Structure 1
Amino acid sequence: MTLPRRTLLAATLAAPAVMPRGARAQGPWAPDRPVRLIVPFAPGGSQDVLGRLFAQQVSQQVGQNVVVENRAGAGGIIGAQEVARATPDGLTLLLTTAGQTTIAKAIGRRLTYDPVADFTPIIHLSDSPVALVTAPSLPPRDLQELLAYCRDARDPIPYGSTGIGTNTHLIMEELKARERLKVEHVPYRGAAAAFNDLAAGRIGLMFISVASVMAVSGAQMKVIGVTSRERFPPTPDVPTMIEGGLPGFEASIWTGLAGPKGLPAPIVARWNAEFARALQSELVTSRLPALGSTANGAGAEAFGTLLREDLDRWTRVAAPLNIQLE
């Protein structure tokens, strides 16, 4: 007698699995030796601190050392390049930001890797919004007044950034194009010199990390807004750019975890779970606000989507700028 198809399928699913002789049930993948977490920045910065927090917590969770290796240079490209070339065995991971991936390609940096195709996204770890600040001497008191002031200025108003092709440069250029602002770029080699010129009124405005704003006296600047979707917990009195009248204007200095291309799914799943768990730990949650960051935790698929969208966004912004890199 031939069983009906539905009955046959049910019988097949109900039957006990028969394993070959000598086979063993496989548990979740686990690292069998120390793991390298490549941080593509010098020791002491916020990304290095973040990487060391995760390394400490995840080491405890998996019972295997996760060792931070700083591979600074070329805006993070050297460290990213090392991971792109690594064996996809789960033992070499990258603490990554847009600087060495999506923005690097968007502004035309010479890369030996593709920032999307040559990495396996694992988890979107955290976000750090930036704040729009102005010189104390600038008349506008809120975002709409500032936008009108910059549109109607007789001469372009100088704005600062932490360097050509950085987040703070491209975010302002996106705002400039969207709102037709009359501003011109003055790049600096970091925030300290820019803050001095902002306080003195030699530049009128700039975007800067919220962590930097938190570390500077309020007398040195006026904080107009932040680029997060909702108000940033460490600065609850500062409105978002969206609240200020710019629908959908968001930007983040994001941090994520990635591995080399071809990382097997069980390895991705294990590291995703461990770093998501670390995001909820007291060690990490207690330090994130001081670093100007909030936890994200979006998974591998969502992080991959972010990479592609980020690349498209900054490529559009950078295209008309004709950025010349050494």
Structure 2
Amino acid sequence: MNMLKIFAATALCVVSASAAAQDWPRQPIKLVVNFAPGGAADLLARSIEQPLQQALGQPVVVENKGGAGGNIGGKAVADAAPDGYTFLMSSGGMVSINPHIYTSMSFDPAKDLVPVASVARVPFYLVVRTDTGPKDFRAFVADLKSNPGKRTFGSPGNGSSPHLAGEMMMRDTSTTAIHVPYRGAGPALTELLGGQIDFLFDPGIAIQYVKAGKLRMLAVASPKRSPQFPDVPTLDESGLKGFDADAVFGVYAPKGTPAAIVTRLNAEINRALANAGTQERILAMGNIPEPMTPQAFRDKGLKDYERMGAIIRDKNIQSN
């Protein structure tokens, strides 16, 4: 009799969860961005905001909670009710990098968050100022070697994907430069434009300044050339064989969010990424739409966790 009651209760929970998913959404959805406004995660969130609102019939509200390499926003979503009304837009670095560099995290991204959908592959572009920077990658490396430890580069934060791209480049060229972490890619770009730092591995937000002639793009830190900049060589082509610093940005949910809601949101995001207007906005940022299933997105995070862990251990990178 007790076992029958357990089976009945379990069946009731499954039916209730399914019914709740069918009714979802019935109120506005919050999409937390765990980096400052103006960065790649923020712009990608806003690129899918309107298509999701139209598809789901409810407002999608983007809210920035930056700091601690994305951990503050990640924690806020991990602690949120798993009811399908709070999600996270994050770089993959929160899952693949942060557990390696933070000695103590108040949540476990791999266990407390559920991968929902990849949004874009984010290449990193090596950019310098046109008024003082080198004209090509060979001259850039020569300058670093002539000025060991004197040049500076910015990133969205210590241990962020652009930071690791810089560390990988220095490792592979036997050069050194001073890393300056900021609270997002936007502030780092502002400092480069203002002359406070010398170079940057940019997630795409500097493209308008490249086109305006204020910044020069020297290379792409990806295995393949960017479709937006087919004339810009990759670092692999520039002599750093096998160089790959790409990151995948996407949407996560609190653990316990009904699978039916995760499946529905994944489908709607993938549908938005197939829309020509959304693709145009993402490509204009220098990013590449990258639809995946939830399982493929999870697998990508695990693979990057191993890949990024190697450079972090090699360079002994830790959080601030």
TM-score by length of 1: 0.77
| CA positional deviation for 1:187 | 1.2
Q: Deviations over 1:176-200 (max 9, x none)?
A: 22x25121224153122234448xx
| CA positional deviation for 1:99 | 4.5
Structure with max Cα Rg: 1
* Corresponding position: 1:33 with 2:26: yes
When residues 42 and 130 of structure 1 are mapped into structure 2, their CA distance, relative to the original with a 3 A threshold, is: closer
Picking from 83, 93, 97, the partner of 2:91 is 97
Distance in structure 1 (CA, Å) of the matches to 2:255 and 2:276:
32
Q: Which residue of 1 aligns with 2:235?
A: 241
When residues 50 and 139 of structure 1 are mapped into structure 2, their CA distance, relative to the original with a 3 A threshold, is: closer
Distance in structure 1 (CA, Å) of the matches to 2:149 and 2:314:
18
Q: Which residue of 2 aligns with 1:18?
A: none
When residues 196 and 70 of structure 1 are mapped into structure 2, their CA distance, relative to the original with a 3 A threshold, is: closer
Tell me, yes or no, if the aligned pair for 1:94 and 1:258 is still in contact at 8 Å: yes
Tell me, yes or no, if the aligned pair for 1:211 and 1:290 is still in contact at 8 Å: no
| CA positional deviation for 1:51 | 1.6
Determine helix, strand or coil for the equivalent of 2:121.
strand
How is 1:258-273 mapped onto 2 (pairs within 5 angstroms)?
258-273=252-267
Q: Which residue of 2 aligns with 1:54?
A: 48
Picking from 37, 57, 61, the partner of 1:67 is 61
Q: Which residue of 2 aligns with 1:305?
A: 299
**Counterpart amino acid of 2:307?**
R
| CA positional deviation for 1:134 | 4.8
How is 1:136-285 mapped onto 2 (pairs within 5 angstroms)?
141-143=136-138, 147=141, 149=142, 153=146, 155-156=148-149, 158-162=151-155, 163-177=157-171, 179-187=172-180, 189=182, 190-197=188-195, 203=198, 205-216=199-210, 221-285=215-279
| CA positional deviation for 1:277 | 0.3
Count of equivalent residues: 295
Tell me, yes or no, if the aligned pair for 2:99 and 2:105 is still in contact at 8 Å: yes
Tell me, yes or no, if the aligned pair for 2:151 and 2:178 is still in contact at 8 Å: yes
Distance in structure 2 (CA, Å) of the matches to 1:151 and 1:53:
37
When residues 283 and 227 of structure 1 are mapped into structure 2, their CA distance, relative to the original with a 3 A threshold, is: same
When residues 325 and 273 of structure 1 are mapped into structure 2, their CA distance, relative to the original with a 3 A threshold, is: closer
Q: Deviations over 1:183-237 (max 9, x none)?
A: 1224153122234448xxx74x542233314424676554321123332222222
Determine helix, strand or coil for the equivalent of 2:241.
coil
**Counterpart amino acid of 1:141?**
D
Distance in structure 2 (CA, Å) of the matches to 1:119 and 1:310:
16
Distance in structure 2 (CA, Å) of the matches to 1:168 and 1:71:
19
Q: Which residue of 2 aligns with 1:77?
A: 71
Q: Which residue of 1 aligns with 2:80?
A: 86
Picking from 127, 137, 141, the partner of 1:133 is 127
Question: Unpaired segments of 5 or more residues in structure 2?
Answer: 1-14, 183-187
Tell me, yes or no, if the aligned pair for 1:130 and 1:209 is still in contact at 8 Å: yes
Q: Deviations over 1:110-169 (max 9, x none)?
A: 4211121211111111022111235666667345x655x379648456241224323222
Distance in structure 1 (CA, Å) of the matches to 2:207 and 2:59:
35
Between Structure 1 and Structure 2, the one with more helix by share is 2
Distance in structure 2 (CA, Å) of the matches to 1:309 and 1:30:
35
Tell me, yes or no, if the aligned pair for 2:118 and 2:290 is still in contact at 8 Å: yes
**Counterpart amino acid of 1:290?**
A
**Counterpart amino acid of 1:127?**
R
Identity of aligned pairs, percent? 31
When residues 94 and 235 of structure 1 are mapped into structure 2, their CA distance, relative to the original with a 3 A threshold, is: same
When residues 241 and 29 of structure 1 are mapped into structure 2, their CA distance, relative to the original with a 3 A threshold, is: farther
Tell me, yes or no, if the aligned pair for 2:128 and 2:134 is still in contact at 8 Å: no
| CA positional deviation for 1:256 | 0.5
How is 1:3-42 mapped onto 2 (pairs within 5 angstroms)?
29-34=22-27, 35-42=29-36
**Counterpart amino acid of 2:174?**
L
